[in-house]
Structure 1
């Protein structure tokens, strides 16, 4: 039976960085899906996880820096896959990589990633995924040991394996992402990906040639030191999930950890950086 969801419509002014912070806070309250809109954000939570005062726990709504107005309504039982089939378009990167659902036609590009489009797939953060894929396209990954931290649906780990990386660890703190990454790795016939539920605390005594971290600014700033300690000499760290305005603080922390900037991409005010360990 289809689950019942509560839909919230948030009007946000100014949108940045409030939208990113709001998504992070709502995610901690079991909201499952976030779609960025012209006015702000649409967010969904299962009715069984919801209560009328749930937003009282969201600190950014009390901030005087932003004007955020919320309205909510109950969504009738819906065939979500049918909804995604109507609204979710495949992602094509540089005419070489496709990220699509099973119901899309195969575009016959070099790398074809098939993801089951469940509720949490619609994050609205395709810019960051797009840029991380672009970075990975430029790397030689054959037999490289790779970490995808904050793996979400497992897209980047899957693409790394398609490019010859092995072994690959994929980690996410969210149980749904953990389970969905396992499902998507199997769907794409991946044999070198190990998926774990947790955070950077799982990285003690680990070593990687390439680390992929598409998360958010605050977590990256806390964990860059951990990533650097896990990288082999000459190893590569790819970061995304933050805005251009965050470049200086991210780059400064990376420099503090002996990481040298080696490439950058921007898309719709989002940014992705490539660092090399000295």
Structure 2
């Protein structure tokens, strides 16, 4: 029996940064998949997860610079792979890493990553994932233990492993993401990446040389103390999923727990920052 979803068709003007903000907020409300188009965004949520007030009090609707309207309809889960194929294009990061779907033709690059995105976040198209991939390319992962927290498709863990990482874990609270990560880990011949479903409570007693966390501002601020506790001396913490205006708050929280800000990348007001202890 097919699962029943609700499709929200958002008309957005101007498209950015409103679309990115809306995706981030809807993700926290339980929406599982997003397809950007010329007029805005299609967003999908299981009917069983929907509630009448689900769009109430979203921050993006309060901004007078954004004009957003929407309609919704009930659909069955069908032909979604074809929809992904129409909208998922391969990307190149730093001229060294290609992230593509199985149906894309490979080209000669140092790191070729094949991702079947399905409903999971993390194809490399979003600014935060793209910048985190760039951080991985720019830093030494050889032999280091790595945690990919909020792993989505598992793309960050996969590139870290291809860059020579040692023991690697990938954790996501969402079951779909967890299962998708397991599939993508196998697809990219990285079977020793350990995938788990859960949150930061799974980290008790664990230690890593590098932690990658691409989630959102509120969860990062809540979990930074946990990450610091899991970081080995001389370790590195990469954080993304927040906006430039949130960087001071994130950096202050890291500093309060003994981490030093080293650098950040930014793209379209999104940030990916590096901290060391």
TM-score by length of 2: 0.88
**Cα distance in 2, alignment partners of residues 16 and 182 from structure 1:** 29
Name the counterpart of 2:241: 241
1:34-183 maps to which residues of 2 (within 5 A)? 34-35=34-35, 41-47=41-47, 49=48, 54-61=51-58, 65-66=62-63, 69-75=69-75, 78-121=78-121, 126-183=126-183
Residues 229/16 of structure 1: CA separation in 2 closer, same or farther (3 Å cut): farther
Name the counterpart of 1:228: 228
How far residue 231 of structure 1 moved from its aligned partner, in angstroms, is 0.6
Alignment gaps of 5+ in structure 2 = none
Pairwise CA RMSD of aligned residues?
2.6
**Cα distance in 2, alignment partners of residues 36 and 245 from structure 1:** 24
Q: Is contact 2:117–2:180 with CA below 8 Å preserved after alignment?
A: no
Alignment gaps of 5+ in structure 1 = none
Name the counterpart of 1:23: 26
Secondary structure at the residue paired with 1:189? coil
How far residue 223 of structure 1 moved from its aligned partner, in angstroms, is 0.5
Name the counterpart of 1:204: 204
**Cα distance in 2, alignment partners of residues 19 and 194 from structure 1:** 31
Residues 248/212 of structure 1: CA separation in 2 closer, same or farther (3 Å cut): same
TM-score by length of 1: 0.87
Report which stretch shifted further, 227-236 or 17-26.
17-26
How far residue 18 of structure 1 moved from its aligned partner, in angstroms, is 5.2
How far residue 209 of structure 1 moved from its aligned partner, in angstroms, is 0.2
Secondary structure at the residue paired with 1:245? helix
How far residue 102 of structure 1 moved from its aligned partner, in angstroms, is 0.2
**Cα distance in 2, alignment partners of residues 64 and 197 from structure 1:** 32
How far residue 76 of structure 1 moved from its aligned partner, in angstroms, is 6.3
